[in-house]
A and B are shown apart, each in its own frame.
Chain A
Amino acid sequence: MNTIEKILKNHSIDKPQEVSPGDIVTVNVDKAIIVDMAALHPEFINNPPIKPFDKDKIAIIFDHFVPAPNIEIANRVDKLRKLARLWNITDFYDIGRGGISHVLSSEKGWLKPGSIIANTDSHTISTGAFNVLGRGLGTPELMGIIATGKTWFMVGNTININFENKLPEKSSAKDIFFKMVEQIGDIPNDNIEFHGEGIKYLDMDQRSSISTMCAEMSAEFAIFPFDGILSNYLEAHSIHNVNPIYPDNDAIYSKTYDMDLNEIEPMVAFPDRIINNVKPVSEIGKIEINSAIVGSCANGRLSDLKDIAMVLKNKKVNRNVRFIVTPATMDIYNEALRLGYISDIVESGAIVTNPTCGACLGGHMGVSSENDVVISSTTRNFKGRMGSPASKIYLGSSRTVALSAVNGYISGE
């Protein structure tokens, strides 16, 4: 069995000897995470589960609308506070205490290798960087998991992606993902396992950026192996006695792709979709922008803030551009303050918001107008995603966004 099949097997309530593609397994979930968006689903507010299967396996995190942008949302999410009290939830992270659920999950040590995480947000596949299976699920399904602690998965085919060599200085993990999409396209219901000696050059932020973006290929799970880099991260976050999962020697992969990371250059996704819509920045000509965004579960991490601080130090954001930077969590924000990144960013004429999903979902903190041409390091560029359907959203790495913000046009170097 491969890593993904083994984790599913280990969690199956039926205790099968093995599982293989096509099987349907009912599994126990190790952690169920509810984000503030659940409060905007009428069923959750009107018919909440009577009680959680295990209150210590439930987390409630405010991240999408922090702080609440209007009265309706303020009233709705306030009901989640009531629920957190009612259920006596310890892992409750309100404004100022947490951040984007996927990033916070790793900081809090909930992503123990070999475990299964359910979360109401669709980028939960990000957990794969930690050798963890995570799935984004609709709020009604999470309501069932809160009540029972269980859900189901269909075991899909798994493709193997081998990373070789080291990424050039000018390129980022986001560019690796765009290159993957260019090669592979969409893979609904299939999984990804990453292997290859190139992985040892990728830190946890880079792996997380890649695994998070795999949602955009419609992958079911996308998982990295356990290694020294992950082990060091877990130790540094006081997570001991982990039980990592490795593939068997005869593990089956439906297809193998080799990627030479050394050949990857800065890439950009053109507006409205990522699939069949990415190009190297070197080949796009001069595309002027007036809005630049850095943030989200994919690219609001400390290394993103470092990348843009290095670009912006002693420079000014182009006078035709608005640049909004959103750290993913309070811990990242504080660390970036301590390291001086925040002042480098703010002194350039960019603004730094509080941690939130913010502009990525077009709810607040950077809603795009009908005339906006946006370069963003967030997760999605669907038509209308960040505001007006007439705005154009290009996606790139955080470094590409910062370079573009300074130059006034999309720039990779």
Chain B
Amino acid sequence: MPERITLALPSKGVLADPTLDFLRDCGLAVHKPNPRQYTGSIRALPGIDVLFQRVKDVVAKVEAGTVELGIAGHDLVCELESDDLLVINERLGFGHCQLQLAVPTTWVDVQGMADLVDVALDFRQYRHRNLRVATNFSHLARQFLNANGLHHFSLVQAEGAIEAAPTLGYADCVIDLSQTGTTLRENHLRPLPDGTLLESQATLIGNRRCLQAMEPVQGKLLRTLLELMDAALQGRERYLLSANLAGTDPERLARQMMENPVTRGLEGPTLAPTWNEDGQQGYAVTLVISADQLLPAVQYLRSIGGRQASARPLRHVFLEDSPSWLRLQQLLGHCRQN
């Protein structure tokens, strides 16, 4: 149905629950009538159908254009490297992991990729075979190894339990995803300091052709979806900071706050006059600040006469326009010029 949009979500694995949590935080709670069904809906946006798939299939279906949108790990998107896949938002803020090259901990002589290149030559010279690298990311692995001057290797494809391959003896080292490094350590593997292929997290992807051919109704739906996602992501990173400031000159106070980037707010502070018990005039200031600047902001406010301050996390921050929507327009516009 051309007036609807299908969003594919991971049905299981490490991304499944965090994806539903993320959408709920965006005000886009997914309703799944039956846990055994593969479809769902978003009551806040009735025009969107939800399809649950294995995360690999999410990427494959978006790439094929069977569904318009999907949420999947950035690693899988990079591995597929398709012109039809558009990354609409590459940082949804969850599902963080790294794609890393790891060697057995017993390989004490291997401290970096340069050593591994030398070991690969040893394998050819003394064992008459290539270094075997177990991975599910053959495209990224090949690119990375070649870029590091490692050319003689064989990739060993394995479904699951990649980390066990060196212990089981069918690979020499691995290139695999790691969140905390625990699984690697438990399998006696050690990531190389210069062996990180990419830092990944959940991304929102779309099919280029489908999005180019969207009807206006679908465009409106998509824009709302992106607005809500962006607002939640912006909200996560910000606090609403309120403080009482001593002083009688609001312009001077505003200027002092504008002078420091951490107290500048989104578009400058809001000041409202206050009177304390002693009848002294002051001002209440309200600011939206970056979450990582909370303490520097409070300290600065103190230095210009601030007294009490309180801060609340924000759930949604709507900017002038949705950054993801603007980015998408740019991507599709660029494509049209081609």
**Are A and B part of the same complex?**
no
B-side residues, CB < 8 A to A, are none
